[in-house]
Amino acid sequence: MIDVDENTEQTDEQAQEMLNQMWRNPCINDTYEPGSTFKIITASACLEEGVVSLSDTFSCPGYRIVEDRKIRCHKVGGHGQETFIQGIQNSCNPVFIDIGLRLGAEKFYAYFKQFGLLSLTNIDLPGEAGTIMHNVEDIGLVELATISFGQSFQVTPVQMATTVSSLVNGGYRVTPHFGVAVLEKDGTEIRKLKYKKKNGIVSEKTSETMRILLKSVVEEGSGKNGYIEGYSIGGKTATSQTLPRSANKYISSFIGFAPAEDPQVLGIVVIRNPQGGIYYGGTIAAPVLRSIYDNVLPYLGIEKN
């Protein structure tokens, strides 16, 4: 017979859990619903496929009816008539539902693969989580509609940063990494580390268009709080609800890159369950990245224009 002290065992388990959490990196190990930052990916796929143009017009009454579901826009009263450019500036869900339905599930899924979303980034750190996505055969019209504006699936922040980077840098996907070289104790370089790079993610034309669109989001749209005078910055905000929706808990985020015309640095801010009653990504996440860029851009020698 073995006598086990349940209190001691519970304490040991709690200690182990605290240790695990201490070493956990949520940017790599944890997934989240990206929300409207995923509209960068939807827009890129739809522009690349030619199912939308910048001059296309849409009507937003504040919702879309898809099959038996009423899917709401964040602006209850709707945005009214708007172009595709205004749709991305306003982060309008009905606009992205419309173009996602135009693209269709099979082509959307093919772009997920082309963009690298369904594979690991292969960052040189342990425990990277994969994207949690519907199987293509399970994507009905409602799932397609919600995927188009970044809900009903999950990705890691590092996956979002890597994918968006490839869509605005001219169309090449780099492997994110921390290791640069292997050195001897005296600093002598033994081996320079090399990482894979994949070209042809999107065309240069689509990439250039996305840079222009995302610059306008910061200068004229929902990302205004990420703007820094004298710098050209592109980006996209997001505010998504965690499950269960009835808990009214949110994730606020912002992805930004600079300079917008020739991106040199990209950052992502994800704030889980923000407190104080303010939870919009443009209100609380964008200013965080703005303050980081205030220091990073001069440090990198990127001068104000």
What's the rounded Cα separation, in Å, for the pair 59 and 264?
36
What's the rounded Cα separation, in Å, for the pair 92 and 73?
6
Residue from 36, 152, 166, 240 carrying the catalytic annotation: 36
Query: What are the C-alpha distances in Å from 102 to residues 82, 108, 113, 292?
Result: 17, 10, 19, 38
Nearest residue to 235 via CA among 245, 247, 244, 226? 226
Whether 282 and 254 have beta carbons less than 8 Å apart is answered as yes
Helix or strand holding residue 262 (H, E): none
- Is 36 one of the annotated active-site residues of the chain? yes
Nearest residue to 93 via CA among 113, 112, 72, 108? 72
Q: Please name the residue ranges forming H helices in the chain.
A: 6-22, 26-29, 39-49, 84-89, 93-103, 105-115, 141-148, 157-168, 204-220, 286-299
Residue 277 zone, left/alpha/beta (φ > 0; ψ -120 to 50; rest): left
Active site residues: 36
